[in-house]
Every structure is written in C-alpha cells, then in structure tokens.
Amino acid sequence: MGELTGKRIVLGVTGGVAAYKAAELVRALVREQAAVEVVLTATGARFVSAATFQALSGNPVWLDLWDDRASGGMAHIELGRRADAIVVAPASADFLAKLACGLADDLLSTLCLARPAGRVLMVAPAMNREMWDNPATRRNAARLREDGVALLGPADGEQACGETGPGRMAEPGELIEALIATFQPRRLAGRRLLITAGPTFEPIDPVRGLTNLSSGRMGYALARAAAEAGAAVTLVSGPVSLATPGGVERVDVLTALQMREAVLSRLADIDLFIAVAAVCDFRAAEPSVAKVKKEGASLSLPLARNPDILAEVAARPDAPFCVGFAAETERLEEQAEAKRRAKGLPLLVGNLVQEGMGGENSRLVLFDDGGMHPIAPGSKREIARRLIGEIAARLPGGAHG
Ligand code: C5P
C-alpha cells in the first residue's frame, strides 16, 4: 500500500526550467497511490506540455480559470476543496510574489487563495540565485512562512543558467517525504528527541577496527517517524550508508567514546532519549598509530570496556524519558526485562534477532512496568510509526496531536 493512498493532491506547476522535475514528482506521487490533478500555469506550459502531465497523472490537466469541466465553471473552488494538499513545484519568484500578496489572476493562484482554512499548501521555490536573494523575494518567502505555507528548499547547487548557488528546486523525493509527513498525527509536537543509531567503530590501527553488522535502519526509521510526528530530532549516528531523514539534525561519530560525548553534550532540554545504536562493548585499549604488521606468530589485543551511554543517561537526576533496545538471539523475555531493570529504563524494545542484525523484518516486543506488549509486524516504516505512537503515549504529559 502506498504512503499516500486515498489522498488527493493538486500539483501546481509554474514557469521554470525545474518544471521537468515536476514530471518526476507526479510519477512519485502516483507510485505512492495518490490521486494527482495537475494545474499548469501559462508559463509552466511553455516548459513542459500538458500531455506529459496528463499521461503521468492519468487525469486531464487544468489550464484555465474558465475551464467549464467543473460544475458551474468553479474549478478554482472545487479543485482546492477536494484536495487533501496543494503542492506548487516549481514555484517561480513571480508565483511566490502573487501568493504572498493574495493575488488571484489565474487558476493556480486563485485556487490557492480559495483553499479552505487549514488545507496544506506546500511550495518548492526554484529560480536563479539572484532572484532568490533579492530582498523582495526574501520578503515574500518570509510572509508565506508566517501565513502557514510550507516552503521546501530551494537547495544550493548548479543552476540551469550556469551559475551556482541557492535556487534549485527541492528534489521530488524530499517533497514526497515532506508531504507524507504532513498526514501523520503530530504525537510528538513540541518534544525534543535525541536518538543514537548504527554501529560504532573502534580503531585497532589506522586501517582496522572492531565493529558490528548494525545497519542503522531501525534507528533511522525511528528518527524519521519521530520527525513526522512533529518532534525536533537530533540523530547521533555511527558509520552507516543511509540518507538523513528530512528535518532531522544528524551528528556523525565513529567510536563509543565520541557517541557518549555527542549525547552528553546535547542533553539539555531533551524530553526523550532513544538508544538504538549497537555500541561496541569493548575498544582496543591502545590503538596503534601505525598499521599493525602480520610478522610475528600471534597478536594479542588488549581491550577496554566502553561506557554504557544509555545507563549513564538514565541514571542522571534530570534524565529524559529513556528508551532502550535489546537485540537477543534467545530467551528474549528474560534477558530484555533484566536489561531494562539493570539500566533503570521505563521502556525497552526487545528484538528477537532471527535473521541476523540488519535484517529487513523485526519482531519487536515492548517491556515496561506493565509487562510485555508485542508490536504488530509490518515494514520498518510502519513498525517505527507504531513504536513512536507507543512511546508518545507513555511520555510524561501524554501524546499530543
Ligand atoms: O547491554 P546492551 O548493549 O545489550 O544494551 C542495549 C541498549 O543499550 C541499546 O539501547 C543500546 O543503544 C544501549 N547501549 C548504550 N551504550 C553501550 C551499550 C549499549 O547506549 N555502551
């Protein structure tokens, strides 16, 4: 099932070279099973034709304020009213100006003005960097944010005009993620989350080290789900090859000691700490500065114990609500509950590792003072959302949204 199943999205395309990316955005929306209706402005149509959008969306494209397909020629009212969200990508400097002033002289600007209160309007500006930097455009963008319009981007980079700077349209993948997020319940609105994820890497010498097979996927999925739920999220991550979820602040570390330092220095004002990282229990006591050579019959490697970051945070008098993870290969119930008590946690997520670490499917069970609570299986993303719901419900002050 798509992430946007049952959602009706109006996609406005205004004039700009980035209009070609709107075609990709329509495909991505349809892939997530959204019903897409494209509204093309006159200048937008000079860049990409209506036929392209019609083929990709499977729906006729709206071009004209006076289109009489809608009952009584009221397309500007009807389209906005039946949409769950309006997305304008790319949004030109001219369109931002119109929107900021409340002008309504074509179908897209009129339907944006006529949208029902509270309807999501997401806008992805794209223009030459000088146009974006112009105080007039900046003023318009700030005004739109104040009016509750969600502005995404523009990104920095190479521009079609040959210049480099801010003005590139946000990528379709980023827009889709942000749109999906707007439909999630805001259970963590106003909360601040610190989360660890991934493995740690403990150097033995400049080219070797101790680590484990944690992929970081569960921690990243939780960080994403928490951001979708409205939390301000800081993700302290060991070495993984995963993209940072939208809206998440990421701090990269390598070793357990660096992870501990990154966590302890960011605890102020944190409401919730979730430790998902598979922290190496030991590190090389004295990593070699030069590469260790294989000559010699054997090698012994003295190890030192790493600090338990979660236990340390949970033991603080001003500890945030702490959630731990325990991956076990057997006797999950006994071991997870023992770990929860030893670390002094209100909540621990037990994971029976059947497919090895980093496997796609996880069977998760929650342990708290009330006992054991299995989490219904699903994709990593679904499970992450369920977990965030369970955690939000247990937070002091309860879930918001
Ligand atoms: O004791 P064990 O490593 O099984 O506990 C797992 C939980 O403790 C996880 O939540 C993990 O992120 C956290 N942990 C930690 N620092 C360590 C070891 C584990 O924060 N040094």
pLDDT at 297: 77
Residues 123 and 251 in one domain: no
Residues 164 and 256 in one domain: no
Residues 119 and 177 in one domain: yes
Instruction: Compute the distance from residue 281 Cα to the ligand 1 centre, in Å.
Output: 8
- Give the pair of three-digit tokens for residue 90: 């790319």
**Residues 328, 331, 332, 337, Cα dihedral to 10°:** -120
Residues 137 and 38 in one domain: yes
All residues at 6 or more sequence positions from 371 whose CB lies less than 8 Å from its CB, including other chains: none
Residues 139 and 258 in one domain: no
Instruction: Compute the distance from residue 278 Cα to the ligand 1 centre, in Å.
Output: 6
Residues 205 and 337 in one domain: yes
Residue nearest to atom 17 of ligand 1 (CA): 308
Instruction: Compute the distance from residue 323 Cα to the ligand 1 centre, in Å.
Output: 10
pLDDT, tens digit (0-9, with 9 covering 90-100), for 31-73: 999 999 999 999 999 999 999 999 999 999 999 888 777 666 7
Residue nearest to atom 1 of ligand 1 (CA): 339
> Which residues span the domain enclosing 256?
192-394
Residues 196 and 228 in one domain: yes
pLDDT at 330: 87
Please state the atom number of ligand 1 nearest to the C-alpha of residue 342.
Answer: 1
Q: Cα-atom radius of gyration of the chain, to the nearest Å?
A: 25
Please state the atom number of ligand 1 nearest to the C-alpha of residue 328.
Answer: 4
In the 8-state DSSP scheme, what is residue 117? T
Residue nearest to atom 9 of ligand 1 (CA): 325
Residue nearest to atom 4 of ligand 1 (CA): 326
Residue 1 lies in a domain: no
pLDDT at 29: 98
Residue 287 neighbours by CB distance under 10 Å: 16
pLDDT above 70 as % of the chain: 96
Instruction: Compute the distance from residue 321 Cα to the ligand 1 centre, in Å.
Output: 16
Residue 187 lies in a domain: no
pLDDT at 357: 54
Catalytic residues: 161
Residue 55 lies in a domain: yes
Confidence of residue 255 (pLDDT cuts 50, 70, 90): very high
Q: Average pLDDT, stretch 1-6?
A: 92
Among candidate residues 132, 153, 182, the one where a domain is terminated? 182
pLDDT at 71: 64
pLDDT, tens digit (0-9, with 9 covering 90-100), for 322-358: 999 998 888 888 999 999 999 999 999 998 876 555 5
pLDDT, tens digit (0-9, with 9 covering 90-100), for 170-188: 999 999 999 999 999 999 9
CATH number assigned to the domain comprising residue 141: 3.40.50.1950
Supply the mean pLDDT for the chain.
93
Residues 104 and 232 in one domain: no
CATH number assigned to the domain comprising residue 207: 3.40.50.10300
Please state the atom number of ligand 1 nearest to the C-alpha of residue 256.
Answer: 21
Confidence of residue 400 (pLDDT cuts 50, 70, 90): low
Q: What is d(CA 224, CA 268) in angstroms, rounded to the nearest whole number?
A: 21
Residue 400 lies in a domain: no
Among candidate residues 125, 158, 182, the one where a domain is terminated? 182
Residues 84 and 145 in one domain: yes
Residue nearest to atom 2 of ligand 1 (CA): 326
Q: How many domains does the chain have?
A: 2
pLDDT, tens digit (0-9, with 9 covering 90-100), for 189-220: 999 999 999 999 999 999 999 999 999 999 99
Confidence of residue 75 (pLDDT cuts 50, 70, 90): confident
Handedness of CA 137, 143, 149, 152 (dihedral sign): positive
Determine how β-strand 282-284 pairs with β-strand 120-125. unpaired
Q: Average pLDDT, stretch 20-30?
A: 97
Determine how β-strand 347-352 pairs with β-strand 364-368. antiparallel
Instruction: Compute the distance from residue 272 Cα to the ligand 1 centre, in Å.
Output: 16
pLDDT at 162: 83
> What φ, ψ does residue 52 adopt, rounded to 5°?
-60, -50
All residues at 6 or more sequence positions from 278 whose CB lies less than 8 Å from its CB, including other chains: 198, 199, 200, 212, 214, 238, 327, 357
Confidence of residue 84 (pLDDT cuts 50, 70, 90): very high
pLDDT, tens digit (0-9, with 9 covering 90-100), for 8-19: 999 999 999 999
Residue 344 lies in a domain: yes
pLDDT at 70: 67
Residue 3 lies in a domain: no
- Give the pair of three-digit tokens for residue 325: 């993870």
3-class state of residue 284 by DSSP: strand
All residues at 6 or more sequence positions from 358 whose CB lies less than 8 Å from its CB, including other chains: 213, 214, 215, 217
Residues 215 and 174 in one domain: no
Instruction: Compute the distance from residue 133 Cα to the ligand 1 centre, in Å.
Output: 46
Please state the atom number of ligand 1 nearest to the C-alpha of residue 327.
Answer: 4
Q: Give the residues surrounding ligand 1 with Cβ less than 6 Å away.
A: 196, 256, 275-277, 279, 306-310, 324-326, 339
pLDDT at 229: 96
Residue pair 36/81 in contact by the 8 Å Cβ criterion? no
Residues 82 and 48 in one domain: yes
Residue 304 lies in a domain: yes
Q: How many residues are given for the chain?
A: 401
Confidence of residue 296 (pLDDT cuts 50, 70, 90): confident
pLDDT tops 60 at residue 360: no
Q: Which single residue is written with the structure tokens 């992870």?
A: 259
Residues 228 and 135 in one domain: no
Residue 177 lies in a domain: yes
**Residues 91, 94, 98, 104, Cα dihedral to 10°:** -90
Among candidate residues 134, 160, 182, the one where a domain is terminated? 182
Tell which one of 257, 259, 264, 308 to mutate to probe ligand 1, the residue whose CB is within 8 A of the most ligand atoms. 308
Please state the atom number of ligand 1 nearest to the C-alpha of residue 310.
Answer: 20
Q: What is d(CA 221, CA 236) in angstroms, rounded to the nearest whole number?
A: 14
